């Protein structure tokens, strides 16, 4: 798939992961793994990705996930945004969530990666 004409519908993909601690290295590792899974599970190339919004729990403030994503080859034109996840008592700690808008072929089923302790957020996925 190299032509946007082959991408037939706009799809919102979700995903999440957790970090071991609040450090640049830990957040970087978690974001890279989450994006790698998002791309591989959905057979994505950068031209298919319109935007990615990251939200993080308040206990993660060592760096911006979007700054990590921005370093991926071909991601220069993708709109990236960071925000803080709303606080909810007993929410999963050290969690990074994402919402990505992408173009997918009509016959492709979206795959939403939930990794680490975030697997518990969506056991159905």
Q: In whole angstroms, how far apart are CA 58 and each of 61, 93, 101?
A: 7, 8, 24
In tens, the pLDDT along 55-109 reads 999 999 999 999 999 999 999 999 999 999 998 998 899 999 999 999 999 999 9
Instruction: Decide if pLDDT at 5 tops 80.
Output: no
Residue 1 pLDDT class (50, 70, 90 cuts): very low
Structure tokens at 44: 């994505």
d(CA 105, CA 89): 39
In tens, the pLDDT along 26-61 reads 999 999 999 999 999 999 999 999 999 999 999 999
For residue 6, what pLDDT is reported?
Answer: 60
For residue 91, what pLDDT is reported?
Answer: 87
CATH 3.50.50.60 fits 9-121, yes or no: no
Tell me the pTM. 0.90
For residue 119, what pLDDT is reported?
Answer: 87
């Amino acid at each position: 798939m190299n032509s946007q004409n082959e991408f037939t519908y706009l799809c919102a993909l979700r995903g999440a992961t957790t970090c071991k601690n609040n450090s640049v290295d830990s957040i970087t590792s978690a974001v890279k793994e989450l994006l790698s899974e998002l791309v591989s599970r959905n057979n994505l190339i950068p031209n298919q990705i319109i935007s990615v919004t990251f939200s993080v729990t308040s206990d993660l403030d060592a760096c911006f996930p979007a700054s990590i994503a921005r370093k991926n080859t071909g991601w220069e034109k993708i709109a990236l945004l960071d925000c803080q996840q709303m606080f909810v008592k007993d929410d999963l700690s050290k969690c990074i969530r994402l919402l990505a808008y992408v173009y997918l072929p009509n016959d492709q089923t979206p795959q939403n990666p939930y990794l680490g302790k975030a697997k518990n957020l969506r056991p159905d996925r």
